[in-house]
Structure 1
Amino acid sequence: MMRVLGDRVDLEGLVADAVEEGRQVQVVHGRATKEETLEAFSEALNFPEWFGMNLDALADCLDTIARESGSDWEIVWDDAAELRRADPRAATGIESVLAELDEVHPGVHVTIIDR
């Protein structure tokens, strides 16, 4: 299930609820550029050295994590609005990758916090 939440979300509460429901949770804090945002995903999710810093590589790494996780998993992209303001096309591309991940892997939950 992919959901987009507004700026008044209690991040700690959201994470606590997901953990209580049995999901592993990883939070990615958004940044102002596509490159910085992809770097934030790489750092938060501990992507391999070969991560290519593009949307195809993002999709590949997220798919690998989802297949290997062995349990329900939630990825939270916080501060997504920053990239949306600076580079709407890049934000849409990342959202598309996350939506596809969510669609292909039933145990994956995606939350985008739009602040």
Structure 2
Amino acid sequence: MTTFLGRHSEADDHIEQLRWLGHDVRVVSGGDDKAGVLEAFASGLALPEWFGHNWDALLDALRDLDAPRDAPIELVWDHAAGLRARDRDAYDTVVEILEQVADERDDLHVTVVTR
């Protein structure tokens, strides 16, 4: 399941609530174009060196994320509004990838914050 929060929502409260619940919260911030968003995921999630900075590599890397505490992973893509405004196709692709991984994994949930 994917949760979408807009710029007027209480995104910070949502993130804190997830942490309070004991979830493994991982926040990726921004990205204004394809290269920027791929770099944001690579650095925000400390993806392995084999990460190829393309959509297929992002999908593979997200499938391989481990939860160190056996807690659900809460993947939060914050500040996604920039990409949505500049490149709607790239934004839609990222959302598709996130939703696909969330559908495949019982231990991973996604929040997209467009602020």
* % identity of equivalent residues: 35
1:24 match:
24
Q: Is the CA contact (8 Å cut-off) linking 2:74 and 2:110 kept in structure 1?
A: yes
2:59 match:
59
SS in 2 for 1:52: coil
Please give the alpha-carbon distance, in whole angstroms, between the structure 1 residues aligned to 2:113 and 2:82. Answer: 11
| Backbone CA RMSD of aligned residues | 1.1
1:107 aligns with 2:107: yes
> Please, which runs of 5 or more residues in structure 1 have no aligned partner?
none
> Please, which runs of 5 or more residues in structure 2 have no aligned partner?
none
2:33 match:
33
Following superposition, the deviation at residue 11 of structure 1 comes to 3.6
Higher helix share: 1
Aligned residue pairs total: 113
Q: TM-score, normalised by structure 1?
A: 0.92
Matches within 5 A, 1:57-96: 57-65=57-65, 68-69=66-67, 70-96=70-96
Letter in 1 for 2:63: D
Q: Is the CA contact (8 Å cut-off) linking 2:5 and 2:11 kept in structure 1?
A: no
Following superposition, the deviation at residue 114 of structure 1 comes to 1.2
Q: TM-score, normalised by structure 2?
A: 0.92
Following superposition, the deviation at residue 10 of structure 1 comes to 3.3
Following superposition, the deviation at residue 12 of structure 1 comes to 3.1
Please give the alpha-carbon distance, in whole angstroms, between the structure 2 residues aligned to 1:58 and 1:111. Answer: 17
